[in-house]
Structure formats: structure tokens, C-alpha cells
Amino acid sequence: MVAPDPALWSRLTHRFHELFAERFRLAVKAYKRLLALIEARDADGAQCLWRSHMESAAAYLLKDDLRDMPVVELFA
């Protein structure tokens, strides 16, 4: 697995709000775990992790009045 470029990481975290940087760090961590599960051929583990990740992302991104809106309408 390739380690993230420290200079790129520094620029990203410096430019974005601390909350976004933390969420980005958590997302990268989830992607790394997903890749490790795929490389280990653990389909059940990968599916479980990705479902949990997507549910968490949806809860964060689709909060408040967007929660009940069909996805198609979000991009209209």
C-alpha cells in the first residue's frame, strides 16, 4: 500500500476546515481498510465495512431537510 504524500496531506489539511480534514482522514482510513479487506479476499468483511461507511456518510451528508429527499432530486 502506498503512503500518502506528506506535502499533499499538509496542503489539504491546511486549506480546509478542521472538521472537513477530520472527516477526510476518516474516509481515507475507511478506504485503506476496504482495500486491505479486498486484498485479503474478505468479501463479507469488505461488504460490511462499505455498507457501514456509506450509511455513516449518508447520515452526515443527508441530514436535516435533505434526509427524506429522493437522491435523484438532490442533483436536479
Instruction: Dump pLDDT digits (tens) for 25-39.
Output: 888 999 999 999 999
**Type of residue at 22:** E
Count of CB atoms situated within 10 Å of the CB of 53: 17
Q: What is the pLDDT of residue 67?
A: 62
**Cα(43)–Cα(41) distance, rounded to whole angstroms?**
6
Q: What is the pLDDT of residue 46?
A: 96
- Taking only the tens place, the pLDDT of each residue in 17-70 is 666 777 888 889 999 999 999 999 999 999 999 999 888 877 777 776 666 666
Q: Which residue has the higher pLDDT, 72 or 58?
A: 58
Give the predicted TM-score (pTM) of the model: 0.58
- The closest of 1, 28, 2, 34 to 13, measured between CA atoms, is 28
